[in-house]
Amino acid sequence: MLKAVLNSVSSWLKSVSYYKQTCCLGLLTSTVFVVIYCSCTKNKKRPKPVRYVNEVIFFEDNNRYRNFDKRNHRSVENLKKLTDYLDSAKVSLNICVFTITSHKLGEVILKKFREGVNVRIITDDSMAYGDGSQIAKFRKEGIVVRARCSESLMHHKFAIVDDEILINGSFNWTEQATFGNWENVIITSVPVKMVESYVDHFNSLWIKLNTDS
Ligand SMILES: *[C@@H]1O[C@H](CO)[C@@H](O)[C@H](O)[C@H]1NC(C)=O
Ligand SMILES: *[C@@H]1O[C@H](CO)[C@@H](O)[C@H](O)[C@H]1NC(C)=O
């Protein structure tokens, strides 16, 4: 079979001009190159495009609104922005905050956990069972919460969505911070190196606090 093919090819080559032979060879070689190139690039993982986020949210002291419907409050919009960012998590949610008493934030964290997002929380144990703390609820649902176990306060207030978006600021994750304080929150995916530093720091704290879960 192969012999027959080779025979016919060689007799064809003898019958055609040198020019045609060269053309054929060129075509064959470039086909081989294209095939090799395609199969190489197909298996290579393209670097993931980074979600570009860069925003600051300011919460204002709005005591005079206290007696009005909180839903008209500017802070409600701000809180919604924040919960939307948390809600955008597809893979992981690493939260490292002094305390969490905000129900809205607690709700979205539980929702993500139930959806299968890898939720990890580091908090300050002095607040873990304080008034309105969501921590007991998280633990009951199965979220792993680790707490600082030294005299110093675990005073961080940052979170990382999908190792990609950093949420950081003065903001305490409390009702009080949302509705009664001047606070700031930065939500950013750049510079990537800085976000990575937060991710690394979270991971090292997570390991360090392993004894207290
Ligand atoms: C994170 O927030 C804290 C508290 O507001 C602030 O001191 C710090 O500069 C912030 N870091 C970044 C990188 O935004
Ligand atoms: C915010 O957290 C600090 C500790 O970081 C705490 O002393 C303070 O009471 C909290 N403020 C509010 C308004 O919850």
When pLDDT is averaged across residues 9-34 and rounded to a whole number, the result is 72
pLDDT digits (tens, 9 = 90+) for 34-93: 766 766 666 555 556 668 999 998 887 665 455 445 555 777 888 899 999 999 999 999
- What's the confidence (pLDDT) of residue 212? 47
**Please, which residues bridge with residue 94 across strands?**
120, 160
CA distance linking residue 155 with residue 93, whole number of Å: 18
Give Cβ neighbours of residue 67 (< 8 Å, ≥ 6 apart). Answer: none
pLDDT digits (tens, 9 = 90+) for 100-127: 888 889 999 999 999 999 999 998 877 6
In which band, very low, low, confident or very high, does the pLDDT at 211 lie, cut at 50, 70 and 90? low
CA distance linking residue 188 with residue 198, whole number of Å: 12
pLDDT digits (tens, 9 = 90+) for 122-155: 988 776 677 778 888 999 999 999 987 667 777 8
Active site residues: 155, 157, 162
Neighbours of 169 (CB within 10 A): 18
Q: Is the pLDDT of residue 3 over 80?
A: no
Phi, psi of 100, rounded to the nearest 5 degrees: -130, 110
Q: Which of 28-32, 40-44, 199-203 has the highest mean pLDDT?
A: 199-203
**Interval between CA 172 and ligand 2 midpoint (Å):** 6
Write down the mean pLDDT value for the chain. 81
171 close to ligand 2 (CB < 6 Angstrom): no
Phi, psi of 78, rounded to the nearest 5 degrees: -60, -45
Global pTM exceeds 0.75: no
**Ligand nearest, relative to CA of residue 174:** 2
Q: Is the pLDDT of residue 180 over 90?
A: no
Measuring from atom 2 of ligand 1, which residue has the nearest CA?
169
- What's the confidence (pLDDT) of residue 33? 74
Residue 54: in which H helix or E strand, if any?
Answer: strand 54-59
**Ligand nearest, relative to CA of residue 153:** 2
Q: How far is CA 163 from CA 14, 176, 196, 197, in A?
A: 64, 28, 7, 10
